Amino acid sequence: MKRMQLLELEDQAWLPPSIRNGITDFLEFAVVKADLYKPFAPRLAAAISAANVDSVVDLCSGGGGPWLRLRDDVVRLTGREVSVTLTDYYPNIAAFKRVADADSSGRTRFVEASVSALNVSQDLQGLRTVFSAFHHFAPTKAQAILADALQQRQGIVIAESTQRHPLLLAYMLLTPALVLLTSPFQKPFRWSRLFWTYVVPVVPLAVMFDGIVSCLRTYTPDEMMALVRGIPGHETFDWEAGIERIGRLPVGVTYLIGTPRLSMPTAA
Exposed e or buried b per residue across 146-183, where buried means at least 16 C-beta atoms within 10 angstroms of its C-beta: bbbbbebebbbbbbbbbbbbeebbebbeebbebbeeeb
Percent of the chain residues topping a pLDDT of 70? 98
Residue type, 257: I
**What's this model's pTM, rounded to 2 decimal places?**
0.89
Helix (H, G, I), strand (E, B) or coil at 86: strand
Domains for the chain: give ranges and CATH numbers. Answer: 37-171+218-260 (3.40.50.150)
pLDDT at 11 over 80: yes
Considering only CA atoms, which of 99, 62, 70 is closest in space to residue 214?
62
In the structure, what pLDDT confidence band is assigned to residue 264 with cuts at 50, 70 and 90? low
Q: Please list, in sequence order, all residues whose beta carbon lies within 8 angstroms of the beta carbon of residue 165, skipping any fewer than 6 positions away.
A: 1, 215, 250, 251
DSSP state of 77: H
Q: How many CB atoms lie within 10 A of CB 268?
A: 3
In the structure, what pLDDT confidence band is assigned to residue 35 with cuts at 50, 70 and 90? confident
pLDDT at 263 over 80: no
User: How high is the pLDDT of residue 268?
Assistant: 45
Mean of per-residue pLDDT scores for the chain: 93
pLDDT at 238 over 60: yes
Which tens digit of pLDDT belongs to each residue from 159-213?
A: 999 999 999 999 999 999 999 999 999 988 899 999 999 999 999 999 999 999 9
Which tens digit of pLDDT belongs to each residue from 94-117?
A: 889 999 999 988 999 999 999 999
Considering only CA atoms, which of 38, 77, 74, 42 is closest in space to residue 55?
74
Beta-strand ranges (E) seen in the chain are: 55-59, 83-86, 108-110, 127-131, 156-160, 237-245, 252-260
Chain centroid to CA 112: 18
Bigger pLDDT: 104 or 155?
A: 155
Chain centroid to CA 47: 16
